[in-house]
């Protein structure tokens, strides 16, 4: 299986790198591509992993010369791929566009986000949640999507029992089949 990882370069999301570090036969893009090139890359891969900062409209295109690197311009290609969507409010993007795959809802990955959502979390708890999530997802990333979802819900769930940030994020992970 050929995997395309779209992870716009941003220091605040480097913690996500363990998710894809052990994937064989992968292409990682972090910026510098136009939408036509991104569409071509999506069409050439079986699985698409998209992560970083985003909104209900898509994955922000930091360093991609456009507001979004994943948005309505890529939906037609994504509907035929095995997809993982990890960005804030990816759930709304997935649902609005009838896509399938593993996705996050609002994902608190910074202390300021914890404050906005009235969560009790300092830098230590946020970092623990971020690093544990990425490590655990990375450990099962080469499994089929239903198995990935089952394992991440189970494994990240243990942290959610004692870490309010992880609990919030854990409750917003889902799989659309």
pLDDT tens digits, one per residue of 78-131: 999 999 999 999 999 999 999 999 999 999 999 999 999 999 889 999 999 999
Q: What is the mean pLDDT of residues 134-139?
A: 98
Residue 28 clears pLDDT 90, i.e. is over it: yes
3-6 β-sheet, strand order = 26-29, 3-6, 47-51, 82-86, 101-104, 173-176
Confidence category of residue 44, pLDDT binned at 50, 70, 90: very high
Q: State the Cα angle at 85 between 54 and 171, rounded to 5°.
A: 90
Instruction: Return the H-helix or E-strand segment holding 68.
Output: strand 68-70
**How many other C-beta atoms lie within 10 A of the C-beta of residue 67?**
12
Burial (Cβ within 10 Å: 0-12, 13-18, ≥19) of residue 73: middle
d(CA 8, CA 6): 6
Does 65 score more than 90 pLDDT?
A: no
Whose tokens are 């940030």? That residue is 165
Percent of the chain whose pLDDT exceeds 90: 96
- pLDDT band (50, 70, 90) for residue 66: confident
Task: Report the C-alpha gap between 107 and 13 in whole angstroms.
Answer: 12
Show the DSSP H helices in 17-144 as ranges: 35-43, 75-78, 90-96, 111-116, 123-140
Domain encompassing residue 100: 3-176
- Checking if the pLDDT of 39 tops 90, the result is yes
Q: What is the CATH number of the domain that holds 84?
A: 3.40.50
* Count of domains forming the chain: 1
> Which pLDDT belongs to residue 56?
98
pLDDT at residue 139 greater than cutoff 90: yes
Answer whether 0.85 is exceeded by the pTM: yes
CA distance linking residue 91 with residue 173, whole number of Å: 8
pLDDT of residue 121: 80
């Amino acid at each position: 299986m050929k995997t395309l990882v779209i992870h716009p370069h941003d220091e605040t999301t480097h913690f996500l790198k363990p998710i894809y570090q052990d994937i064989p036969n992968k292409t990682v893009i972090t910026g510098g591509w136009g939408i036509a090139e991104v569409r071509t890359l999506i069409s050439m891969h079986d699985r698409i992993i998209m992560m970083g900062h985003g909104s209900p409209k898509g994955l922000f295109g930091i360093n991609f010369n456009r507001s979004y690197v994943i948005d309505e311009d890529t939906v037609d290609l994504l509907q035929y791929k095995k997809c993982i969507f990890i960005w804030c409010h990816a759930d709304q993007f997935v649902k609005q566009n009838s896509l399938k795959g593993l996705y996050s809802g609002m994902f608190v990955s910074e202390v300021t986000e914890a404050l906005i959502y009235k969560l009790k979390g300092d830098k230590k708890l946020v970092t623990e949640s971020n690093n544990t999530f990425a490590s655990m997802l990375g450990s099962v990333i080469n499994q089929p999507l239903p198995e990935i979802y089952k394992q991440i819900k189970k494994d990240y769930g243990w942290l959610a029992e004692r870490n309010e940030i992880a609990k919030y994020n854990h409750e917003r992970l889902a799989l659309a089949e």
